Amino acid sequence: MSRIYNFNAGPAAIPLEVLETAQAELLDFNGTGMSIMEASHRGKAYEAVHNEAIANLRELLGISEDYAVLLLQGGASTQFSMVPMNLLLPGETADYTNSGSWGSKAIKEAKKVGNVNVAADCGKEIPTRVPRVSELKLTAGAKYLHVTSNETISGARWNEYPDVDCPIVADMSSDILSRPFDMSRFGLIYAGAQKNLGPSGLTLVVVRKDLAEGAPENLPTMMRYKTHIEENSLYNTPPCFSIYILMLVTRWVKKIGRDNLYKQNVDKAAKLYAAIDGSGGWYKGTAVKEFRSDMNVTFRLPSEDLEAKFAAEATKAGFNGLKGHRSVGGIRASIYNAVPVKAIDDLVAFMNQFKASNG
């Protein structure tokens, strides 16, 4: 068996240890004589998995009892709609920031539901970045402010959040559980699981319970946060296997130590950015330096032909998923929690060698 270095943006690398545990438990989970995929979501075996995943997330992300932790389906994309459906009532306005592809999709969906003010828009700027706090044109009495904490495609992220009177809502799909943040500053956060949390098919939503209370009564049952809060995300059949992997991933993070992992993420990204910045301009970072993401390191080569050659040779050398998103081109190394330090070191060596041969 040979495993490649996985730099995919999502679905993405899952810790090897987690995969090995899942493999070992696949045919007989905890003496049940069946896999967790085959167990009833109302049974004791699954219930323990479900509740441990939630408890571990509460501990790792510092989530108080004022918030509900929801394990939903539909991806982060469904949250683009569910957030305004639940929080934005007729006559109210929500402030949104556009920092790129994902921010603009969130705005597009919110506009279908209610009044949206785009408080800052740098979605199409190159080099890429997210808005500065000083640029925000906020609405007095806004219901919430929406941010995309890390733009997965452009590789730019928020470093500081504004002090606002309304709750902040954040799409944390690509940086959840990768760096510190203060949950109490947010009214709601959401994330597709397929980057730092586990497999796709599962979406984490953490919502302040009082905010969820205010949703319109006529919302479809499945679209209401309150439904899922009341039923502990078991109103209908949850994505049991994805939640099981999430549980194993959170155990893995606890074992390594959350803060150790956060520090490792900073170091990993710094090594790649040092290789880019030390190349004499041959490799060029895509994002404005102060907004560079530690999760999605994006860069360009002197020509598109060289980028294609880089991606092809990298694949041959065992580095998978480095081609930039189809909408922007370039190169993107997604270096989520589960991407080992060795993968970064070897990628840096590959980059140096590629430049020596082609520069």
Shortest Cβ distance from residue 241 to ligand PLP (Å)? 16
| DSSP, res 154 | T
Active site residue 252: no
Catalytic pick among 95, 143, 158, 195: 195
Q: Does 77 bind ligand PLP (CB under 6 A)?
A: yes
CA angle 219/198/294 to nearest 5° reads: 100
User: Contact region for ligand PLP (CB under 6 A) — 169-177, 181-189, 208-216, 219-227?
Assistant: 169-177
Determine contact, residues 337/295, Cβ cutoff 8 Å: no
User: How far apart (Å, rounded) are the C-alpha atoms in residues 359 and 353?
Assistant: 10
Active site residue 195: yes
Size of the site for ligand PLP (CB under 6 A): 11
**Residue 277 CA: distances (Å) to CA of 26, 283, 286, 297, 311:** 45, 7, 11, 12, 19
User: Contact region for ligand PLP (CB under 6 A) — 74-82, 241-249, 263-271, 307-315?
Assistant: 74-82
User: How far apart (Å, rounded) are the C-alpha atoms in residues 190 and 207?
Assistant: 8
User: Contact region for ligand PLP (CB under 6 A) — 57-65, 69-77, 226-234, 251-259?
Assistant: 69-77
- Can you name the residues that pair with 319 across neighbouring β-strands? 5
Q: Does 174 bind ligand PLP (CB under 6 A)?
A: yes
Q: Does 293 bind ligand PLP (CB under 6 A)?
A: no
Select 72 or 301, whichever has its Cβ closest to ligand PLP: 72
Binding residue (CB under 6 A) for ligand PLP from 95, 109, 171, 294: 171
Look-up: residue for tokens 């740098």?
A: 122
Shortest Cβ distance from residue 152 to ligand PLP (Å)? 3
With H, G, I as helix, E, B as strand and everything else as coil, classify residue 34: coil
With H, G, I as helix, E, B as strand and everything else as coil, classify residue 79: helix
Q: Does 238 bind ligand PLP (CB under 6 A)?
A: no
Q: Does 10 bind ligand PLP (CB under 6 A)?
A: yes
Binding residue (CB under 6 A) for ligand PLP from 29, 67, 102, 291: 102
Shortest Cβ distance from residue 79 to ligand PLP (Å)? 8
Q: Does 109 bind ligand PLP (CB under 6 A)?
A: no
- Can you name the residues that pair with 333 across neighbouring β-strands? 297
Q: Does 152 bind ligand PLP (CB under 6 A)?
A: yes
Assigned token pair, 232: 């502990």
- Can you name the residues that pair with 287 across neighbouring β-strands? 128
Active site residue 282: no
Determine contact, residues 23/244, Cβ cutoff 8 Å: no
Residue 188 sits at φ, ψ, to 5 deg, of -160, 140
Assigned token pair, 304: 């598109």
Residue type, 34: M
| DSSP, res 128 | B
Binding residue (CB under 6 A) for ligand PLP from 7, 39, 46, 75: 75
Select 21 or 77, whichever has its Cβ closest to ligand PLP: 77
User: Contact region for ligand PLP (CB under 6 A) — 167-175, 272-280, 284-292, 343-351?
Assistant: 167-175
C-beta nearest to ligand PLP: residue: 75
Q: Does 139 bind ligand PLP (CB under 6 A)?
A: no
Q: Does 198 bind ligand PLP (CB under 6 A)?
A: no
Determine contact, residues 131/83, Cβ cutoff 8 Å: no
Q: What are the helix (H) ranges across the chain?
A: 16-24, 44-61, 75-87, 101-113, 209-213, 225-230, 240-256, 258-277, 304-316, 341-358
Q: Does 81 bind ligand PLP (CB under 6 A)?
A: no
Assigned token pair, 64: 């108080």
Q: Does 173 bind ligand PLP (CB under 6 A)?
A: yes
Active site residues: 102, 171, 195
Q: Which residues bind ligand PLP (CB under 6 A)?
A: 10, 75-77, 102, 148, 152, 171, 173-174, 192
